[in-house]
Amino acid sequence: MKAKNQVIRIIALLLVGGAEATLGSYVGNSAAAENEVVVFAAASTTNAIIQIGELYETQGKRRVTPSFASSSTLAKQIASGAPADVYLSANQKWMNYLAEKGIVNKATRFDLLGNRIAFIVPKESTVKDVDVHDGLNLQTLLGEDGRLSIGDPSHVPAGMYGKKALENLGLWAQVQGRLAPMKDVRAALVLVERGEAPLGIVYATDAAISKKVRVVGTFPLESHPPIVYPVAAVAGGDADATAAFLRFLQSDEARDVFQRFGFDVRR
């Protein structure tokens, strides 16, 4: 019966729109052994969570199976029955979305990370460092027909933070009609890496992992809401297993990994 229910959850997920995930990855999750922890995490945490998962396993603990996408995509997948144990969001909105539905265990929730957003350009760009302020001429940075690569501001946290910052700085009108809205922040990064967009907005941590882009300006902290990554256990899972992994995310080992990738560790 358990296996049958898992199959039903997978089918529901795929029908609802789990386009960010492959069928193979979810089939793997459906057959998850009792020694596995499935972690749905914001795309910007990909490198850090992979390393932390490997550390966790080397200590003889459960295997960590991560799934990465936009926080919004992951939240909707979890709400549709995706078999996740832990959810790490890049903003409060999508964690609140699941909390209001009773899908995450509120008692396990805490703020884990902080971040910054920045303007990036292809490494070979002639654009120099800029002071991000209310008088910045973005038209010059974009060129005649360039577009601003950004996580879709309608639902991707990095894009939502970016839009709010541009609005508060009085710059949104310059780019509103010249966006290249992407499915998540890593996709926004790739577009600039390929030179298909002359300018992008990503997290500082995403820019730091790429050798193909340069940061030319960081947004003032006061220009947007604090960038906070909450994490929580998904309700209905193995409480002991998820509690153990959440504790590990607060360990010195995990802290070191997050800090190496440029995150501000809150816990």
- How many C-beta atoms lie closer than 10 Å to residue 134's C-beta? 10
Residues 163 and 74 in one domain: no
Instruction: Kindly state the DSSP code that residue 62 receives in the 8-state scheme.
Output: P
Say if residue 18's pLDDT is above 60: no
pLDDT at 30: 37
User: What is the per-residue pLDDT across 217-249, written as a single tens digit (0 to 9) for each?
Assistant: 999 999 999 999 999 999 998 999 999 999 999
Judgement on whether residues 236 and 196 belong to the same structural domain of the protein: no
Q: Mean pLDDT over residues 152-173, rounded?
A: 98
- Name the nearest CA neighbour of 16 among 93, 69, 68, 77: 77
Number of domains in the chain: 2
Edge-to-edge order in the sheet of strand 148-151:
179-182, 148-151, 199-203, 117-122, 213-218
Locate the DSSP E strands across the chain: 36-42, 63-69, 86-88, 110-114, 117-122, 148-151, 179-182, 199-203, 213-218, 228-233, 264-265
Judge if 206 and 84 occupy the same domain. Answer: no
Q: Answer yes or no: do 206 and 250 share one domain.
A: no
Q: Which of the four pLDDT bands, split at 50, 70 and 90, describes residue 263?
A: very high
pLDDT at 10: 40
pLDDT given at position 34: 73
Q: State the pLDDT at residue 176.
A: 95
Which amino acid appears at position 251 of this protein? S
Q: Is pLDDT above 50 for 13?
A: no
- Per-residue pLDDT of 47-101, as tens digits, reads 999 999 999 999 888 999 999 999 999 999 999 999 999 999 999 999 999 999 9
The answer on pLDDT for 255 being more than 70 is yes
pTM greater than the 0.85 cutoff: yes
Alpha-carbon gap, residue 17 to 30, rounded angstroms = 17
Q: If DSSP states are collapsed to H, E and C, what string results for 98-148?
A: HHHCCCECHHHCEEEEECCEEEEEECCCCCCCCCCCCCCCHHHHHCCCCCE
Picking from 151, 94, 133, 111, the residue whose alpha carbon sits closest to that of residue 223 is 133
* pLDDT in the model for residue 35: 87
Pull the structure tokens for residue 47. 């490198």
Enclosing domain of residue 246: 2-114+227-265
Q: What is the pLDDT of residue 105?
A: 97
Q: Which of 94, 90, 88 is closest to 37 using CA atoms?
A: 88
> Do 257 and 177 fall into the same domain?
no
Looking at the fold, whether 12 and 82 belong to one and the same domain comes out as yes
Q: What CATH number corresponds to the domain at position 110? A: 3.40.190.10
Q: Do 237 and 109 belong together in one domain?
A: yes
> Which of the four pLDDT bands, split at 50, 70 and 90, describes residue 207?
very high
For residues 60 and 85, is the Cβ–Cβ distance under 8 A? no
Same domain, 17 and 142: no
Q: What is the pLDDT of residue 61?
A: 85
High-pLDDT (> 90) share of the chain, %: 85
Whether residues 200 and 121 fall in one domain? yes
